Amino acid sequence: MGTSFLLGGELKVNRIGYGAMRLAAAPEPGFEAGTGHIWRAPVDREAAKAVLRTAVESGVNLIDTADSYALGENEELVAEALHPYRDDVVIATKIGVARPSPTEWVPVGHPAYLRQQAELSLRRLKLDRIDLLQLHRVDPAVPLADQIGALHQLRQEGKVRHIGLSEVTVDQLREADQITPIASVQNMYNLANRGHEAVVEYAAAHDIAFIPFFPVAGGEHAGPDGPVAAVAKEIGATPAQTALAWLLRKSPTVLPIPGTTSLEHLAENIAASAVQLSDEQFERLSAIASA
């Protein structure tokens, strides 16, 4: 299936990337885990920067962030750790979601807002041009053509190299691609959550990168007695590596971006690119996941 992919037909990226969303402080006091995440930068910035630097030193060259993560501080953290960027490092960010409180993620697709947020991302990331700018969420109150048009204008101005979308359907992807070339789509997808199967297939057929977020799912299937653990034991890998290997085998345009704050887990995730599943093991996992 190959260990690299040409993003946008010309940016060579290794197929295990890094999602920087996890580099955030613990939830605000009074918020339950899972409801107030990604609101502030991590307390230990040096440890977070060490993870980013180690990722790149270990061969990861696709780093994904967003302007809404920690109200822009996540982008600043990426720049602190990696700027000046190596020539082969591809920086991807997302715009189009406002954060009025720790628990709110509100799509805002007004063209002027999108262009403003792109300018702020450029400053925080210390870039003259963003390699991959993604529409974080489609705003249902604004015509999709207007939202994509704003990103297309940024590309025409030389501020964006490639354009991507997040959490979209095949119809939305097809409509956007008629306005400007779409290089990637970032939807939730993993062994346990395969609601975007049609998008995965469309992306593969059109050489569009499919970047699954939350690529390593939890749940019963991932437990110590679950099917993923059983296959992992057979191949001498961890369950997380096995789940990532399944994604890599699923389609040649799939680029998982597992995030972590742990150097140990980072190494584990990167090593998943070398994990091989037999045809029978791949089909067994696929059948269990879709049952």
pLDDT at site 20: 98
pLDDT at site 291: 47
pLDDT at site 33: 60
- In this structure, which topology does domain 4-216+252-259 adopt according to CATH? TIM Barrel (3.20.20)
User: Using CA atoms, how far apart are residues 262 and 93, in angstroms rounded to an integer?
Assistant: 22
User: Using CA atoms, how far apart are residues 8 and 21, in angstroms rounded to an integer?
Assistant: 23
Counting as low any pLDDT under 50, the low residues of the chain are 291
3-state SS assignment for residue 255: coil
Which residues lie below 8 Å from residue 71, measured CB to CB, with a gap of 6+? Answer: 39, 40, 99
Question: Where do the structural domains in the chain lie, given as residue ranges?
Answer: 4-216+252-259
User: Using CA atoms, how far apart are residues 163 and 180, in angstroms rounded to an integer?
Assistant: 8
Contacts by 71-76, CB closer than 8 A, 24 or more apart: 71/39, 71/40, 71/99, 72/120, 72/121, 72/124, 73/40, 73/41, 74/20, 74/21, 74/23, 74/24, 74/38, 74/41, 75/121, 75/124, 75/125, 76/41, 76/124
Question: Residue type for 100, please?
Answer: P
Question: Residue type for 106, please?
Answer: V
Element housing 164 (H / E): strand 160-166
pLDDT at site 37: 82
pLDDT at site 219: 64
User: Using CA atoms, how far apart are residues 98 and 168, in angstroms rounded to an integer?
Assistant: 18
Angle of the 239-250 helix axis to the 263-271 helix axis, nearest 10: 40
Residues with a known catalytic role: 69
pLDDT at site 29: 75
